[in-house]
Chains A and B, each alone.
Chain A
Amino acid sequence: MVPSVSNRKALLEWKLYLFIVPSLLVVAVFCYYPAISAIYHSFFRWSGGDTQEFVGLKNFKDALSDGVFWSSFITIGILIVANLFKMIPSIFLAVLIHRLKSDRMQYWYRVILVLPMIVPGLVTLFIWKFFFDPNFGTLNGILQATHLDTLLATLDSYFHWGVFQEGVPTAWLGQPSLIIPSLIIWGFPWIGAVGVLIFLAGLQSIGTEVYEAAELDGVNPLQKFLYIEFPLILTQVRLSLVLLMIGTLQGYGLQFLLLGESGGPGGRGMVPGLWMFNRAFVAGEFGYGCALGMFLFVFVLLLTWINNKFVRISK
């Protein structure tokens, strides 16, 4: 345990305070000051320059009736729910690797798993943008090669989506109704190497005798997962869930790179963060951007609070 110190000892150890100063200084200037300044400026009409005009709550009222802003929350809601399902492949893969008998193979699969991480995330993003390209893209190529495009076109003529047509390459990022599906498909098969490694670390605490006992009882693989493995990685799953939800709610890099600053055709890929960015740096309404940031902050805080309340994370 960390020993408490008396005030006299603390006075003697005053040099220790110097250890925290640099960190505190950097954080104060580059984290606290901007945050406070954001709160302050959300009450102003401000285009980034020296002139600013106090407008009271106008920015917040405008934000409340801002249709784009609130529909962007629906979009991000859909993406968050989709992201929850996207965790399943990682869990599946972790359990598969863990169940392998050979320790050596387990190690090597881990190595192979981490390898794609050497491709910078940014590059992966661009490669996926290429995958979505209507004419040369990999996605359309796969659909054609497997004749799934004909199936999609048939389904389309039946359901009248008006999206897929026989013989016409699908513009994944060019059609409003396809943007959200594209954002969901993005990153298939959705393996997060870090996630899998963390799940594997959780699974490691299961001893072989548990498996042997389960096998004697004739437990099938699914039951093994439900009763032995899943409870043990629950902490890790919850933690990933929380980080994932908060990260998705705040994130807009993906949408920005794939669709541009206005959220793609019809603005269907508009997410709250991107709209804030757009208002501030495209429309030049910095004060309004700050106000939107405040709303986003409240939502993140709310999400964090809900998580802390209902999702207990033990150390």
Chain B
Amino acid sequence: MKSGEKNGSARRHKKTEWVKHFFIVAILAVEFLPFYMMIQISLKDNHIFLENTWLPSPPSTWVWQNYADAFRLIIPYVANTVVVAVSSTVLGLALSILAAYFFARYRMPFGGIIWSGFLVLMLLPGVANIVPLFNLLKSLGLLNTLWALIALGIAGSQVFAIFVLRNFIEDIPRDLFEAAEMDGASHLQQLWSVVIPMSAPIIGTLAILKFLGSWNDFLMPLLVLRDPQLFTIGVGLIYLDGEYVKQWGLIMASFFVASLPLIILFLFMMKLFIRGLSNGALKG
């Protein structure tokens, strides 16, 4: 009798589990629709696309030419974007870590004032100063260069990164710093041997977020870059999308190629990414 009851409730549990799985899979399936459309259209030419928009075409008719063209078209843009995204991520985070260490190590005189100065900046809407920013870049002679984007990338999320890192570094046990100091470690050495190993997960998460932001940016590149050779992916895709007769297959293949570096990045960092976002993101 008792075991029968148990079985019954276990079966009921199974059933509710399936309901949950069903809903999750349904939502995720719709979420993947853009991805699916991109992949399957990327292998069609306009003729096949018009006849059959929805289903993947049979492998024998796949138009690999789309990818050949897309690579030729997009790779220079990808290269430019990689340069901008990597340099602004690495340099930007390096500056943030230094600054966060300053705030978190000791309460230095004037530290409080500088801190509030930084925080005010979080309230300033970026959109309000886009016009003077454009003029600043013009007078610095940075218009139509990748340096402009790198500089903006470094400055861009500086405050947010310092904010998050400071909280993290403050949680590192003080003893570690003191022990390092006993051994005669300078501040830079302490930074290198204590702070960076201890806060690696959050640094990784911040790096990914910064890299993604840089990768997706198109407003500043659109304003700054004129020379097609310097186009980043954002600008490049806007021009591609604006063409009069649209080769949907080619466009989708280009979209896919533009996503490739992120796909590779993701494959390597998946674990770090999910852990960082689930645990570290809200520590600040």
| Nearest chain A residue, comparing its CB with the CB of B174 | A3
| CB–CB B105/A23 < 8 A | no
A168 on interface, CB distance cutoff 8 Å: no
Cβ-defined contact, A110 with B24, below 8 A:
no
B179 at the interface (CB under 8 A from A): no
- B37: Cβ under 8 A from any A Cβ: yes
Using known A-B contacts A15-B187, A281-B223, determine if residue A10 contacts B109 with beta carbons closer than 8 Å.
Answer: yes
Interface size class of B (residues with CB under 8 A): 35 or more
Indicate whether A277 reaches chain B with its CB closer than 8 angstroms: yes
By the criterion CB–CB under 8 Å, are A37 and B124 in contact? no
A27 to B119, CA, bound (A): 12
Interface residues of A in 239-274 (CB under 8 A from B): 239, 246, 249-253, 256-257, 273
Number of residues of chain A lying within 8 A (CB) of chain B: 98
Chain A residues whose CB sits within 8 angstroms of the CB of B35 once the complex forms: 115-116, 119
In this assembly, does A128 line the interface, its C-beta being within 8 Å of a C-beta of chain B? yes
For B134-150 the 0/1 string (1 means CB < 8 A from A) is 11100000000000000
Report which of B27, B102, B238, B255 forms a contact with A93, defined as CB distance below 8 A.
Answer: B27
| Distance between A306 CB and nearest chain B CB, rounded to angstroms | 13
- Structural contact, B131 and A16, CB atoms closer than 8 A: no
What does the 1/0 interface line of A111-152 toward B look like (CB < 8 Å)? 111111111111110111111000010100100000000000
Query: B276 → chain A, closest Cβ, in Å?
Result: 9
Using A15-B186, A22-B98, A138-B37 as known contacts, list a sample of 8 further A-B pairs with CB atoms less than 8 Å apart, ordered by residue number in A: A19-B98, A20-B103, A29-B155, A111-B270, A117-B212, A122-B237, A130-B251, A297-B125
Query: If the complex has contacts A120-B262, A126-B255, A257-B218, are A3 and B151 also in contact, measured as CB distance less than 8 A?
Result: no
CB distance from B173 to the nearest CB of A (A): 12
B37 interface neighbour in A17, A121, A127, Cβ under 8 Å: A127
The residue in chain A whose Cβ has the minimal distance to the Cβ of B104 is: A2
- With A41-B132, A126-B237, A136-B53 known as contacts, the answer to whether A23 contacts B38 (CB < 8 A) is no
0/1 string, B206-222, CB within 8 A of A gives 1: 00000010011011000
A sample of 28 cross-chain residue pairs with beta-carbon separation below 8 angstroms, ordered by A number, consists of A4-B106, A7-B109, A9-B106, A13-B187, A16-B187, A27-B121, A27-B159, A34-B130, A34-B132, A35-B132, A38-B128, A38-B131, A89-B27, A92-B27, A100-B20, A111-B274, A113-B28, A117-B212, A118-B262, A120-B258, A122-B215, A122-B218, A127-B255, A136-B50, A138-B33, A191-B28, A198-B277, A293-B129
Q: Is the CB of B131 within 8 A of A289?
A: yes
Check if A109 is an interface residue, CB within 8 A of chain B: yes
With contacts A2-B170, A37-B132, A191-B31 taken as known, whether A30 is within 8 angstroms of B151 at the C-beta atoms is yes
Residues B132 and A23 in contact, CB atoms below 8 Å apart: no
In the complex, what distance in Å separates the CA atom of A279 from the CA atom of B274? 42
Residues of A contacting B155 in the complex (Cβ-Cβ under 8 angstroms): 26-27, 29-31
Given contact pairs A38-B131, A281-B223, A300-B123, A123 touches B37 in the complex (Cβ within 8 A): no
Main DSSP-derived SS at the A contact region: helix
Contacts of A286 in B (CB 8 A): 131, 135
Asked whether A201 is an interface residue with its Cβ less than 8 Å from the other chain, the reply is yes
Chain B contacts with A in 24-58, Cβ cutoff 8 A: 24, 27-28, 30-35, 37-38, 49-50, 53-54
Residues of chain B whose beta carbon lies under 8 Å from any beta carbon of chain A: 13, 17, 20-21, 23-24, 27-28, 30-35, 37-38, 49-50, 53-54, 95-96, 98-99, 101-109, 114, 118, 121, 123-136, 151-152, 154-155, 158-159, 162, 170, 174, 186-187, 212, 215-216, 218-219, 223, 233-234, 237-238, 241, 248, 251-252, 255, 258-259, 262-263, 265-266, 270, 273-274, 277-279, 281-282
Complex: how many Å from CA A111 to CA B107?
41
CB distance B132 to A33 under 8 Å? yes
Are B34 and A127 in touch, CB under 8 angstroms? Answer: yes
Q: Which of A10, A99, A118, A276 has the most CB of B within 10 A?
A: A118
- Which residues in A have their C-beta under 8 angstroms from that of B128? 35, 38, 276, 290, 293-294, 296-297
- Inter-chain contact A20/B99, CB cutoff 8 Å: yes
The answer to whether A123 and B53 touch across the interface, beta carbons within 8 angstroms, is no
Chain B residue at minimal CB-CB distance from A30: B155
Given A30-B152, A194-B277 in contact, is the A296-B218 Cβ separation under 8 Å? Answer: no
Q: How far apart sit A248 and B17, CA to CA, in the bound complex (Å)?
A: 36
- The answer, yes or no, to whether A72 is at the interface (CB within 8 Å) is no
Q: Which 8 A-B pairs have the closest CB atoms?
A: A293-B128, A30-B155, A37-B132, A34-B129, A23-B99, A34-B132, A19-B102, A4-B107
